[in-house]
Amino acid sequence: MQPYQKFLSEVLIPEQELQERIRELGKQISEAYTGKDLHLICILRGGVMFLTDLMRSISVPHSIDFMAISSYGAGTRQASGHVRLTMDLRDDIQGRNVVLVEDIVDSGYTLASVLGLLATRNPASLKVCTLLDKSERRETEVSLDYVGFEIPNKYVFGYGLDLDEYYRDLPFIGVVNEEKYTPPED
Ligand code: IMP
Ligand code: MG
């Protein structure tokens, strides 16, 4: 038995389904950005697996960059524009066609904050591609341009998403067994 198995209640999205959907998203993005300069921005660390597979499905030339942000504790969530960066982008995004690549949108606060910040830097366009959307949990409105999967209100891990920093490497999205693992409040 693999160590992660005791935390897993079910596989929500198996590897093949993930990969097929990512290929479709890559195709859609390639069509939308044909003849345009495309710049992908990934929020560390959860989006990394998705970014690298998505890139291999995008057939138009594109560049990438990374940013990291602090996560606020419960009850201290900030509205758009108040995200605290722990690692900024390397490159300027002014005049560029940016697609923000996210692992999961839950309440929407993280995304709203990051979008608010990026918008102040005057990109030519700013779109969002998220692998997972827990839309039931939304607390602030955010518009999502590309969505891999709508998922139910369950705590998930694998494929970039961690359990206390482990198991990001799993090739599938699994539902956490809440009897064996207590997810963070926020
Ligand atoms: P939001 O600000 O509530 O939308 O939260 C987004 C962030 O919360 C994501 O980038 C993840 O880091 C984390 N998150 C939300 N739901 C899950 C989950 O089910 N598993 C792992 N991380 C999650
Ligand atoms: Mg996280």
* pLDDT, tens digit, 9 for 90 and up, residues 164-183: 999 999 999 999 998 988 87
> What pTM, to 2 d.p., does this model score?
0.93
In the 8-state DSSP scheme, what is residue 132?
E
For strands 125-133 and 97-105, give the pairing.
parallel
Q: Ligand 2 centre and the CA of 40: distance in Å?
A: 19
pLDDT for the residue 76: 46
Between CA 133 and CA 171 the distance in angstroms is: 18
Q: Is the pLDDT of residue 22 over 70?
A: yes
In the 8-state DSSP scheme, what is residue 143?
-
Domain boundaries, the chain: 19-71+81-152
Does the Cβ of 161 fall within 6 Å of ligand 1? yes
Q: Which of ligand 1's atoms lies nearest the C-alpha of 107?
A: 3
H-type alpha helices, 74-142: 109-119
pLDDT for the residue 72: 60
Which H, E and C letters describe 35-93, residue by residue?
A: CCCEEEEEECCCCHHHHHHHHHHCCCCEEEEEEEECCCCCCCCCCCCCCCEEECCCCCC
Helix (H) or strand (E) holding 30, with range, is helix 15-32
Q: In Å, how far are 10, 66, 105, 179 from 87, measured between CA atoms?
A: 34, 8, 20, 35
Does the Cβ of 158 fall within 6 Å of ligand 1? no
Q: What is the pLDDT of residues 27-86, one digit of tens each?
A: 999 999 999 999 999 999 999 999 999 999 999 999 999 999 987 654 444 444 466 899
pLDDT for the residue 75: 44
How remote is the C-alpha of 29 from its chain's centroid? 16
Q: Which CATH class is domain 19-71+81-152?
A: alpha beta
Q: Is the pLDDT of residue 186 over 70?
A: no
Q: In Å, how far are 79, 124, 181 from 108, measured between CA atoms?
A: 10, 23, 24
Does the Cβ of 108 fall within 6 Å of ligand 1? yes
Between CA 99 and CA 91 the distance in angstroms is: 14
Between CA 23 and CA 15 the distance in angstroms is: 12
pLDDT for the residue 81: 45
pLDDT for the residue 184: 75
Does the Cβ of 38 fall within 6 Å of ligand 1? no
Between CA 134 and CA 105 the distance in angstroms is: 6
Q: Ligand 1 centre and the CA of 6: distance in Å?
A: 21
Helix (H) or strand (E) holding 54, with range, is helix 48-57
Q: What is the pLDDT of residues 84-136, one digit of tens each?
A: 899 999 999 999 999 999 999 999 999 999 999 999 999 999 999 999 999 99
pLDDT for the residue 84: 86
